[in-house]
Amino acid sequence: MTKQSKILNILYETAHAEYGSALEMLAACKKSQSPSLAFGYFHHSKDEYIHTSTFFSILAKRSQQIKTNEARKLRFRPYFVRTKGYISPKGFLIDFMKIKDFIAFVYTNELLAKSSFEKIHILLGPQTEDGEKIKQIMNDELLHHGMAKKHFLKYYPKLQPWQLMLYKTREQIKNKGRKLYEKNLKFLEIIFQPLYSIISFFIGKIITILDLKEFNRKNKNLMEISARSIL
């Protein structure tokens, strides 16, 4: 993989991850009990939407330099947040997590996001225009992390730092698992793709041999067609 395609893939993945966060925060906003909490989640969600759009705009600009069929693979596909595991098949986190665990999740993930963006910042070039945009996103993530921390200190003052460390380790393991799953999926696709092509080639051949006149329903009284007919 060239450095350029590595960067494009990272941008593509991150944009979907940010979109997943935006949806999670919007779901949390809708479920908030107090207006101030709803306001906080709303602004967090808005920031994540802006981050998504920033990553896609950098991606769009950079993918002009690659072949069209390669660039097509980097289109925004909202449902990828599910298939890539950024949104759980169980639903939004706020719907099935305890509120304390949810805030801990936000607290640790914002910090993890910030450190992964540091790597992207270096990859894109800290002195470049894109690098500047990533720097702004990093500042936002730190702000989100700080907001979750404030919430903790206010509502869960007894929570120990080692408990937060535990949350962080758990999230790091989950992130690694997600990457491994993605890699395996890509590997299986490489193996099975020729098989799919061969099968569809033979199906195409069989269809040209078959006499399909029987299935022509034009000008026929449909009431006279057998109920067992496959068409």
Nearer CB in complex with Fe ion: 116/163: 116
Cβ 142 to Fe ion shortest distance, Å: 9
> Would you count residue 121 as binding Fe ion (CB under 5 A)?
no
Radius of gyration of the chain (CA): 24
> Would you count residue 13 as binding Fe ion (CB under 5 A)?
no
Cβ 160 to Fe ion shortest distance, Å: 24
Specify whether the CB–CB gap between 188 and 131 falls below 8 A.
Answer: no
DSSP, res 91:
B
Cβ 14 to Fe ion shortest distance, Å: 9
16, 114, 121, 144: which one contacts Fe ion (CB under 5 A)? 144
Specify whether the CB–CB gap between 175 and 108 falls below 8 A.
Answer: no
Q: Which stretch binds Fe ion (CB under 5 A): 71-79, 115-123, 143-151, 178-186?
A: 143-151
Specify whether the CB–CB gap between 55 and 11 falls below 8 A.
Answer: yes
- Of 16-35, binders to Fe ion (CB under 5 A) are 18
Contacts of residue 22, Cβ cutoff 8 Å, sequence gap at least 6: 45, 46, 48, 49, 51, 52
Cβ 44 to Fe ion shortest distance, Å: 6
Cβ 91 to Fe ion shortest distance, Å: 20
Q: Which stretch binds Fe ion (CB under 5 A): 58-66, 67-75, 91-99, 102-110?
A: 102-110
Q: How far apart are the first and last CA of the chain?
A: 47
Residue spans of alpha helices (H) in the chain? 3-31, 35-62, 68-72, 80-83, 93-96, 99-124, 129-155, 161-209
Cβ 228 to Fe ion shortest distance, Å: 56
> Would you count residue 141 as binding Fe ion (CB under 5 A)?
yes
In whole angstroms, what is the distance from residue 80 CA to residue 89 CA?
Answer: 12
11, 12, 51, 147: which one contacts Fe ion (CB under 5 A)? 51
Contacting positions for Fe ion (CB under 5 A)? 18, 48, 51, 110, 141, 144
